[in-house]
Amino acid sequence: MLTLDLTNAPRWHDLAPGVRVQLRPLTTALMVATRADPALESLPDDAPDESRAMAFAKALARRAVLDWEGIGDADGNVIDPSPEAIDALLDIWPIFEAFQLTYVSKGLLLEQEKNASAPSPSGNSAGARATARVANPAKAARKPAKTVPQN
């Protein structure tokens, strides 16, 4: 069953020990806005998938991050989220992975959930029905069809 969170309230996500971010809910509007981000549109057509994934994650994070804790500058001073600081945060591999896992993958899991089939009542194929029938089994094909010649 799909559970709807009608509050649409921001949530805190732990990305590393002592580091957490407050993120907007991952909504359709947020994803659509991210896909239209100028940083993504300016990528060359032949850009590697890794570059596209990183650009997308940064664009999404710039829109989603509302606040954070445990993040400071080189001098150890606490800093507020900014586009440059968010990009720098996602350049840290374990943080990028945690962001993908705890935030982005939730949307992907939902995508998988909606594509799932209902379980069969008993056994692997108990709920399955035949999709093709031979009208007269006595006239069924006696040998397999020939393969298509390849040029």
Q: What is the pLDDT of residues 54-80, one digit of tens each?
A: 999 999 999 999 999 999 999 999 999
User: Can you give the residue ranges of every domain in the chain?
Assistant: 11-114
pLDDT, tens digit, 9 for 90 and up, residues 83-138: 999 999 999 999 999 999 999 987 666 544 454 444 444 444 444 455 555 555 55
Q: What are phi and psi of 89, to 5 degrees?
A: -60, -45
Which amino acid, residue 117? S
Does residue 140 have a pLDDT over 80? no
Does residue 33 have a pLDDT over 90? yes
Q: Is residue 59 exposed (0-12), middle (13-18) or buried (19+ Cβ within 10 Å)? A: buried
Does residue 68 contact residue 19 with C-beta atoms inside 8 Å? yes
Distances (CA, A) of 122 to 72, 126, 128, 134: 56, 6, 11, 26
| Residues ≥6 apart with Cβ < 8 Å to 44 | none
